[in-house]
Amino acid sequence: MAEKGAVSISSGDLTARIAPLGAELLSLTDAEGRELMSDGDPAFWSGRAPILFPIVGRLRDDQYRLGDRSYGLPQHGFARRLDFTVTAQDPDAVRFRLVDTPETQAVYPFAFVLDMAFHLDGPRLTMIATIGNPGSAPMPASFGFHPAFAWPLPYGAPREDHGITFAEDEPAALRAIVPGGLIGQETIPSPVKDRTLMLDDALFANDALIWDRLKSRALRYGASTGPAIDIAFPDTEWLGVWTKPGARFVCIEPWAGMADPEGFDGDFTEKPGVFIIAPGESCSFRMIVTLKEN
């Protein structure tokens, strides 16, 4: 676990620990100290909650084209692998900042400021990513949250009783990831029944489930008994849900962007999910996590 220099904040109802490396949420515990996040078992996946910037998912051949030049970026971009600086801290809140460097400019030729703010208020954790463009050219980017919650949650219900209940009906077909990590052209029927996706390892045999025609901007994760986790993501249009079969976590991932579609060979600015930030402007993405009694 990337714990070096980790910052702890608390509201009494919740305690969070965040690492400067990637501004990654490492731990979220309730008032009794019960862990709501992944155990980070490296046999499955050692991540906890990486920040995805300036891309979400994988690029075709891990390359993108911008004008007449090509650049290489690894899956989910570079923010999760870089150290952020703490710019503000209180007992219940902390803010981290990442700015461009010659190394980031070599693979992503833009000036940027990425602020990650975490604030606890009672049983609620609010995470806000703010991406600013201090440069003189329009800046294309994508962004995503990738938190891994404990599956099962630490309240006694068996793993097979856990599900995700969406705020709205979600009848639209889903997208699937094909070998190579790209978005396939084929769709799969929605496994959501009566607004609920009951979690099962078989759902993830071929990687993540991806909603690209999502109506909901909120959901509840948990079992029919015991506390559950309400998640709101008012600023993101796509959602990924992922685990590895047998793992003790499920990732619930609001995205503003996604992997390259299979066969995509256009300019990065034309890639589905890429947004453009004008010079001197910024945009923000919120994810609000609330521990609720069922």
Q: Where in the chain are the domains?
A: 7-292
Average pLDDT over residues 75-91: 98
| Structure confidence at residue 249 (pLDDT) | 98
Kindly indicate the confidence band of residue 180, based on its pLDDT and cuts at 50, 70 and 90.
Answer: confident
Q: What is the DSSP letter of 173?
A: P
pTM of this structure: 0.96
Flag whether pLDDT at 199 surpasses 90: yes
| Structure confidence at residue 208 (pLDDT) | 94
Kindly indicate the confidence band of residue 1, based on its pLDDT and cuts at 50, 70 and 90.
Answer: very low
SS3 call for 160: helix
Flag whether pLDDT at 66 surpasses 60: yes
Q: Alpha-carbon distance 49 to 117, whole Å? A: 14
Name 155's Cβ contacts closer than 8 Å, sequence gap at least 6. 34, 222, 223, 225, 226, 227
| Residue appearing with tokens 């071929």 | 206
| Structure confidence at residue 20 (pLDDT) | 98
| Structure confidence at residue 179 (pLDDT) | 87
Average pLDDT for the chain: 96
| Residue appearing with tokens 């299979």 | 262
Kindly indicate the confidence band of residue 291, based on its pLDDT and cuts at 50, 70 and 90.
Answer: very high
| Structure confidence at residue 183 (pLDDT) | 95
Q: Do residues 37 and 15 touch, judged by C-beta distance below 8 A?
A: no
Q: Which residues pair with 37 in a beta bridge?
A: 149
Per-residue CA distances from 3 to 33, 83, 107, 247 (Å): 18, 12, 27, 21
Total count of residues recorded for the chain: 294
Residue 181 sits at the vertex; the CA angle it makes with 178 and 185, to the nearest 5 degrees, is 40
Tens of pLDDT, residues 113-160: 999 999 999 999 999 999 999 999 999 999 999 999 999 999 999 999
The CATH code that applies to domain 7-292 is 2.70.98.10
Name 88's Cβ contacts closer than 8 Å, sequence gap at least 6. 94, 95
